[in-house]
Amino acid sequence: MRYKVIKVGGALLEDEGRLELLCRKLAKIEPPFMIVHGGGIFAGQLAERLGIPCRMIDGRRVTDDEMLRVTVMAYAGWVNKILVARLQTLGVNACGLSGCDMNLVGAKQRVQEGVEWGHVGDVVHVNSTVLELLFQSGIVPVLSPITCDGQGGLLNSNADGIVSAVAKALSSRVEVELIYCFNKRGVLRDMEDENSVIPRLTPVMYDKLRQEGRIYAGMIPKLEYSFVAIHAGVQSVRLVHPDELDNPEAGTRITGEE
Ligand SMILES: Nc1ncnc2c1ncn2[C@@H]1O[C@H](COP(=O)(O)OP(=O)(O)O)[C@@H](O)[C@H]1O
Ligand SMILES: CC(=O)N[C@@H](CCC(=O)OP(=O)(O)O)C(=O)O
């Protein structure tokens, strides 16, 4: 049996119609599975309404004191609870969590010379024993990207990184399929052509496409974390659109070999 660990990107939750379609697809999946969600779009909208400026560097959000409050409200609050509520109405026993709950995901503050990242956290541990207990109880964990630093502080972690670390931690105990579910049909060779999905992506292909500028923005951390997961022993890593979640041949499969 393969445990599915599914990342859902913020763009899939943006309006009622997309949220409904996504949750219907997720509700068809046979447990055990879990969801890690993002929601950068919601944090951006909330910050704008509050007059707090946003700054992104290489797909990551610079998170000062005020932005930390915004991200906690957006991710651990609105996005997490709306997903859980919708899944519950569809018969999924979803349980909303952040990395702080049961010390599920711990992180350490990102330190980089010349960049004031603020409360951005890189994952340092995942409590896979607790996740397994939840799976065994028939619960579907829905995890937000808010983590804790072990000293009472909250951190904002990239959701693509959290899901990669969670998949890696679980994969030493059970077989894991890591799925990045997002708003394209896979990694595209040509962003102008929705049908140019690359079925199998190797590290060499990635380097070349990145140099050519065909892979950019949020796709860069997503693919880097995908390769981290596959090299760490995660049994399967795929990127797909929610419409094709149930088709094992759809999307882009990540491979560590050439
Ligand atoms: N080669 C590519 N194929 C598909 N999407 C790409 C590619 N290069 C860049 N992107 C962009 O990356 C986005 C997905 O990354 P991101 O917005 O971070 O996803 P998420 O919704 O999971 O947070 C796509 O919507 C697209 O705009
Ligand atoms: C540190 C950092 O960048 N955290 C992300 C967490 C949310 C996220 O990853 O959301 P998407 O998956 O929708 O992009 C952020 O605040 O944007």
Q: Which domains does the chain have, with CATH numbers?
A: 2-254 (3.40.1160.10)
3-state DSSP call for residue 221?
helix
Pocket test for ligand 1, best of 61, 184, 197, 216 (most atoms within 8 A of CB): 184
pLDDT given for residue 44 in this prediction: 97
Residue 58, judged by CB atoms within 10 A of its CB (0-12, 13-18, 19+), counts as exposed
Q: How far is the CA of 238 from the centre of ligand 2 (A)?
A: 19
Q: Which residue has the tokens 């050519």?
A: 212
Q: What pLDDT score was predicted for residue 159?
A: 97
**Spans of the chain below 50 pLDDT:** none
Helices (H) and strands (E) in the chain, counts: 8, 14
Q: What three-state secondary structure class fits 202? A: coil
For residues 48 and 63, give the distance between their C-alpha atoms in angstroms, rounded to a whole number.
14
Which ranges of the chain would DSSP assign to H, the alpha helix? 16-27, 40-50, 65-71, 80-89, 128-136, 159-171, 203-211, 219-231
| Residue 204: predicted pLDDT | 97
**Whole-prediction pTM:** 0.97
Regarding an ipTM greater than 0.95, the answer is yes
What is the share, in percent, of the chain residues with pLDDT greater than 90?
Answer: 94
pLDDT at position 32 is 97
Angle (CA) 69 73 78, round 5°? 170
What is the residue with the minimal CA distance to atom 8 of ligand 1?
215
Ligand closest to 11 (CA) is 1
Residue of 182, 190, 198 to mutate, ligand 1, most atoms within 8 A of C-beta: 182
Within 6 Å (CB) of ligand 1, which residues are found? 9-11, 38, 40, 59, 182-184, 187-188, 191, 214-219, 222
Burial of 40 (0-12, 13-18, 19+ CB in 10 A): buried
